[in-house]
Amino acid sequence: MLTHLIFAAFAGYVMYQGWFMVEKTFRFGQKSASLGIPMGLVYLAPLTGFGLVVLRLIQRIVIDLRAAKPEGAA
């Protein structure tokens, strides 16, 4: 469970720092050379991915806590 918490903290930090990069990229209005889409959308992919990782880690922590509960407890 400790590793889940440590990795969730790391993923949260990456998301926090990634948000600033996405925001800056949208402000500059930079576009992809090949597709012509805003680069901010491209940089949103890791932010979204790490957000989903955090959700999965929370899910795993809850499952582990429920499994560790004694059978007679409510």
Give the global pTM. Answer: 0.76
Q: Write down the pLDDT at residue 73.
A: 61
In the chain, the number of structural domains is 1
Domain membership flag for residue 10: yes
Residue 74 lies in a domain: no
Residue 16 placed within a domain: yes
Residue span of the structural domain in which 23 resides: 2-68
Confidence of residue 74 (pLDDT cuts 50, 70, 90): low
The per-residue pLDDT for 16 is 95
Helices (H), 2-72: 2-28, 39-68
pLDDT digits (tens, 9 = 90+) for 23-62: 999 999 889 889 899 999 999 999 999 999 999 999 999 9
CA atoms within 13 Å, Cβ hemisphere of 18:
18
CA distances from 18 to 1, 21, 28 (A): 25, 5, 15
Cβ atoms < 10 Å from Cβ of 36: 7
- Confidence category of residue 22, pLDDT binned at 50, 70, 90: very high
Residue 64 forms part of a structural domain:
yes
